[in-house]
A and B are shown apart, each in its own frame.
Chain A
Amino acid sequence: MIRTLWVILVKEARDLLRDWRTLFFLFAPPILAPVGVVLVALFVGWQVASQAPEGFPIAVVGADGASELVARLNEEQTIRLVDPPADPAAALLSGELTALLTIPPDAQARIEAEQPVTLTLTTSRIGWMPALVDLAVRKVVDDYGADLLAQCLSNRGLDREWVDPLRVQAGQAPTTGIVAPPAASASSDALSRSFNGLILPFLVASWAMGGGLGLIAYMTVGEKERGTMEPMLVTAASRVAIALGKIALSMVVSLITVVFWAVDGLAYLAVVNLSVAFAGPASALQQVQAFGVAGLWLFLLMLPLLVTVSGVTAAVCTFARNYREASLFLTVMQFGLPGLSFAATFVVPATPPAVVYALPFVGVLVAVRDLFLSGLPGGMLALAAATSLLYAVLSIWLAAYVFSREWALMRGL
């Protein structure tokens, strides 16, 4: 039995290692995704840096109307003030001008009279850099406006602080169990926790399917289509061992791809969460430890889910008559699992009954949600982990059972 399993595993692995297309589509996305993000970030940085020494060209119409504001714009490094062209619209259209700021002629007089002034900022539509310029100009204008306001209040003997009389201070929310890292500021913590809790079930569902679905189809229904199933079935090898060998390889491949994706995901979460930690007084080490515990649980919950998906896929693909039929079955799964992840995230109540954690697929996804969103009691975590393990075992049994049944194996032969 073990020998047959090993022979099948080695054969499938060798076949896969020679199939560079499948290898590429299995492993390239998780490897290239962070590389792509870094490259894009570098490219953006390079573009900005290459323009920064000179600054983006901006023309100010009516500069005499607000000389102080123009002086401040001149000090802004990312901006380079140029004379207004004869045809500003054409200059914006060609990209020669990044933005045009129009100041009304009576601006200085209105400022001195403590009356509001409306400026018009027109940015070019070429490329994405005008967005940066827009931000830079608005910041200068806002700072100048804040100073004017402070001066105005001071003239009346009022404190600038009174403009924002009410403040919100960060509070530490109680949790019901193991939870993702506590963060420094309440607003950013709530934001990152919500984002993690909402996105992670979907990511987990995607990772579980992303690894080996196509590979499993190739190893099962693909054998039928190639005409290699029958010669294998007439050998003395046990059909259960053959099925287990195939599932074993799909597990290994799925695990490797999930590890890649998990590293990507953990890197992302680390950036999100640690940036929060560094922003506040909490110890960065505590953040790492807290996040590490949640990440470890996430990984442990994901493994049985991965096995379950692989097992069910193997059973479905073994039953399929041909690739076309298998792809129909897999389409249901490809839509079904993300659908379950959305249901787990948005439909299941915040404190669900225990039975929810014991449901196949949904239990793990809800546990992942709660782990990073509101906290997960230890008992519920144990329940989700134990039942997901049970489903993993059952799915392997299902795959082996279907692979040893004539009504499934001989369909299409």
Chain B
Amino acid sequence: MIEAHELSKRFRRVVAVDGVSFTANNGEVLGILGPNGAGKTTLLRMLAGMLQPNAGFARVDGLDARRDGAQARRRIGFLVETGGLYDRFTPREHLFFYGRLQGLDGDELAARVQALLDALEMSAFADRRAEGFSAGMRRRVVLAQALLHDPPNLILDEPTAALDVMSTRTVRALVHRLRQEGRCILLSTHLMSEAERLCDRVIILHQGRVRAVGTPAGLCAQTGADDLEDAFVRLVGERALRESLWQAQARRRWWQFWGRGD
């Protein structure tokens, strides 16, 4: 179970996350939706203990993400949106490396690695160096890293980004299975259809604040929309959405101009 209580994060004068509270239960997929610059990644990083909140707190299975950092992180698997690979390592070596960092070793680690290589259909390239891997192959390795230590809580940031149709289906099936196993899953995505299909509930973030929480069907009913995409646009506000996108782009261009953009 992952809990956020009045989480806030400020970068200089920019308020990225502003008093966000929610609870994601075990056996539930909670979607985090929002336009670019809404604060999704910052929120997920705080939940994973990578960033310290300026106010509020996050709990993972009752452990404070800040105070009990290592223990809380051990109970979380975080699929990072921009997760990369070491080009001179094979997927198997990646998994062994991250497994050891998570405290696994020996037969247990070897068995876990092999199980994930099979589950994510990576056996064909498990012993090839990552140099030259496609985006989809890389994504699967990073996903396997997040699942390696069998965490009860998962934070998946854009899990199907850059994946082809078959890989996307594999990942979605995996998310279903993980939910059935009783894990708590936080899923951030830009794909409304994916959120509608996978999530039990969704949180809509805008400008660092929670705009709405509910089931996809509930949000559609609440806004009178036919699907989640329409509901999302109505909740965020079409004009506000455009402004938000424009601001995000302008901010990015500004930092890129000064050589500090991503």
A residues touching B (Cβ–Cβ < 8 Å)?
A: 3-4, 7, 11, 14-15, 18-19, 226-228, 230-238, 321, 324, 406, 410, 412-413
* A292 vs chain B, min Cβ distance (A): 41
Judge whether B76 is part of the interface by a CB distance below 8 angstroms.
yes
Residues in B neighbouring A18, C-beta threshold 8 A: 88
**Once the chains are docked, how many angstroms separate the CA of A232 from the CA of B82?**
12
**Interface residues on chain B, number (Cβ under 8 Å):** 35
* With known contacts A7-B97, A11-B97, A235–B84 Cβ distance under 8 A: no
B binding-site residues for A, Cβ under 8 Å: 45, 48-52, 70-71, 73-74, 76, 78, 80, 82-89, 93, 97-98, 100-103, 142, 145-146, 149, 259-260, 262
Nearest residue in B to A4 (C-beta to C-beta)?
B101
Interface pair A15/B88, CB less than 8 Å apart? yes
Find A410's partner among B50, B71, B97, B259 (CB 8 Å cutoff).
Answer: B50
Q: From residue A215, how far is it (CB to closest CB) to chain B in Å?
A: 14
A15 touches B86 (CB 8 A): yes
Partner of B73, one of A4, A11, A235: A235
B88–A228 CB distance below 8 A = no
Residues B70 and A234 in contact, CB atoms below 8 Å apart: no
A237–B88 CB distance below 8 A: no
Q: Contact between A321 and B101 (Cβ–Cβ < 8 Å)?
A: no
The answer to whether B80 touches A231 (Cβ under 8 A) is yes
B88–A321 touching, CB < 8 Å: no
| Alpha-carbon distance between A352 and B230 when the two chains are bound, in angstroms | 78
Contacts of A236 in B (CB 8 A): 70-71, 73-74, 101-103, 149
Contact A235 B50 (CB under 8 A): no
Residues of B with C-beta under 8 A to A228: 83-86
Nearest chain-B residue to A410 (Cβ)?
B51
CA of A67 to CA of B38, assembled, Å: 100
Q: In whole Å, how far is B50's beta carbon from the nearest beta carbon of chain A?
A: 5
Interface contact A227-B52, CB-CB below 8 Å:
no
CA A11 to CA B97, docked complex, whole Å = 7
Report how far A413 CA is from B149 CA in the complex, Å.
24
- Contact check: which of B50, B86, B145, B262 meets A233 at CB < 8 Å? B50
A residues in contact with B84, CB < 8 Å? 226-228
What separation, in Å, do the CA atoms of A237 and B45 have in the docked complex?
16
Q: List A contacts of B74 (CB < 8 A).
A: 236
Q: List chain B residues, Cβ under 8 A from A238.
A: 70
Which residues on the A side are within 8 Å of B100 (C-beta)? Answer: 3, 7
Contacts of A413 in B (CB 8 A): 82
A227, B101: Cβ atoms closer than 8 Å: no
Chain A residues with CB below 8 A from B73, complex form? 234-236
Check if B86 sits within 8 Å of A235, measured CB to CB.
Answer: no
